[in-house]
Amino acid sequence: MWHWVFDVLGLFVVCQWLEMLQLYERCILMDIEFSDTQNVDQLLWKNAFYQVIEKFRQLLKDPQGENAQEIRNKLLLLLDEGSSFFDGLLQKLQVSYQFKLEDYMDGMAIRSKPLRKMVKYALISAQRCMICQGDICRYREQANDTANYGKARSWYLKAQQIAPKNGRPYNQLALLAIYTRRKLDAVYYYMRSLAASNPILTAKESLMSLFEETKRKSEQMEQRKHQVLDVSPNRRGKGKKSTLRQVGDDATRLEIWIHPSHPRSSQGHESSRDSEQDNGLGNLSPSDAAYCGAALKLAQLLMGPYHPK
C-alpha cells in the first residue's frame, strides 16, 4: 500500500511512519475529547502528511533538481494515500461515535438539538478531516499544474456546513479565491474567517495585504491618468469652462468666466450638482469599490438579502 515510501525512506522509517499514523488514528478513535484538547488531528496532518508534502514541493521548485517527473509522481501517490486515509478516518469516526455525517451537513443540527458530548467532538474532528481532504485536492492541482479547484472547494464547503463557527474553512476558501484571481471573494471569505467564533487571526494580515495591493494599483491608475491628462492638449481646467484656440503652432487657453448673477450660472450649478450625484458611485476608486462590495456581502450574510423599496 505504501510502496511509494520504500524508495525514498527505507523500510525502518516506513515502519515508524506507519506506526505513527496508527497511533494518531487510535488516539482519535478511542479518546476524542483528549484528541481535541491536544490537537491530535492537526498533529496527524502536520507530521504525517504536510511536512512530507512540503518537502516534495520544495524539491519540485529546485531549478537544479533532477528527476522532477519522478518526484511529482511520488507526491501524487502520497496525496492519493492521504485521501484514502482520511476517507477511512471519516468512516471510522461515524462508526466509533455512532452518528451519520449527512445528518449534520446543513450546520443547523448542531444548534437545533442537543448533541452528545462525544458526537460534538467527533464532528469537529470530521471537519478537520474534510479540510485536509480539501488541502490534498488543492496540492494535487498544483502538482499537476492545473487550476480546477472544484473538488477542494467542495470539501471546504462541506467542512463549513458542519461547524460554521470555525474560521478555518473560510480561510481555505479565501486561498482558492486568491488562486483564481477572485479578489473580492477572497475579501469576503477572509472577513468571514475573522468574524467566526473561532477566528483565524492570520486572515487579518492576508486581508490587509489585499487592500494594500488594491490601493497600490489604484494609485498607479491615478498616476497614469494624470500623466495622460498632462500630455493631452484637450484637457479641461477644473472648476471652470475652458476651451483651446489654435494659433499658429501654439495652443492657447480661452477661459470663459460667468458672473454669479447671470441666469445660466444657477442652471449650471444645479446641473453640476446633479452630475455629481449621478457620478458619485462611478468615481469610486477600485479600493473603495472593494470595501463597498465586501461590506454589502457581509451585510447580506448577517441581515439577509437587500430589497430596495
Query: Are 248 and 303 in the same domain?
Result: yes
**Same domain for 125 and 21?**
yes
Mean residue pLDDT across the chain:
79
Range of the domain at 300: 189-233+241-259+282-309
Is 137 within a domain?
Answer: yes
Residues 71, 159: one domain?
A: yes
pLDDT in the model for residue 63: 79
Q: What is the pLDDT of residue 112?
A: 61
* Confidence at residue 16, expressed as pLDDT on a 0 to 100 scale: 84
Q: What's the CATH number where 18 sits?
A: 1.25.40.10
Establish if 272 belongs to a structural domain.
no
Q: Which residues of 207-241 are buried (b: 16+ CB within 10 A; e: fewer)?
A: beebeeebeeebeeeeeeeeeeeeeeeeeeeeeee
> What pLDDT score was predicted for residue 240?
44
**pLDDT for residue 28:** 96
How many domains does the chain divide into?
2
176 in a structural domain: no
Within this chain, do residues 146 and 200 fall inside the same structural domain, yes or no?
no
Same domain flag for 93 and 204? no
Q: Which residues of the chain have pLDDT under 70?
A: 1-12, 107-113, 231-309
Q: Would you say residue 265 lies in a domain?
A: no
What confidence score (pLDDT) does residue 303 get? 44
Q: At what angle do helices 183-195 and 168-179 cross, to 10 degrees?
A: 170
175 lies in a domain? no
Give pLDDT, residue 31: 95
Q: Model pTM greater than 0.75?
A: no
